[in-house]
């Protein structure tokens, strides 16, 4: 089976023992992306700005694999506060216009104390 690591400086580097993504055959499995600006290391304030940065980071990895948002077939989204669901959705909908399948759950904590994280699966 054809598989390779996908990595890009346009998304935050992994902060643990994992890769940004793997391409396996026609599929790309991206690790969860938190809202860290890859150029500055800064996390923006508020759910809208953090959702925006998380979407940009996730799609930077998809693009590094030679794909676009249209290739994304599944996302898993994590929110620190379920009360942020509507604000998160408003931003998310601008980036994932093809409406991939999705799970969105509230969790107790997300690394670096951020408000959201997004992971994606894309198909060539």
CA distance 77 to 57: 13
Element (H, E) at 73: strand 72-79
Beta bridge partners of 5: 22
Residues composing the chain? 124
Candidates 55, 77, 104, 116; catalytic one: 104
Nearest of 32, 57, 31 to residue 44 by alpha carbon: 57
**Quick check: is 116 catalytic?**
no
Q: Which residues are catalytic?
A: 104
């Amino acid at each position: 089976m054809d598989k390779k690591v996908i990595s890009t400086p346009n998304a935050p580097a992994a902060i643990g023992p994992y890769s940004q993504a793997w391409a396996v055959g026609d599929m790309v499995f991206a690790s969860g992306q938190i809202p860290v600006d890859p150029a500055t290391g800064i996390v923006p304030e508020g759910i809208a700005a953090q959702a925006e940065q998380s979407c940009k980071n996730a799609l930077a990895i998809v693009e590094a694999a030679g794909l676009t948002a249209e290739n994304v077939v599944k996302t898993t989204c994590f929110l620190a506060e379920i009360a942020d669901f509507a604000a998160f959705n408003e931003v998310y909908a601008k980036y994932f216009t093809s409406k991939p399948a999705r799970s969105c759950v509230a969790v107790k904590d997300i690394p670096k104390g951020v408000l959201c994280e997004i992971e994606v699966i894309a198909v060539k």
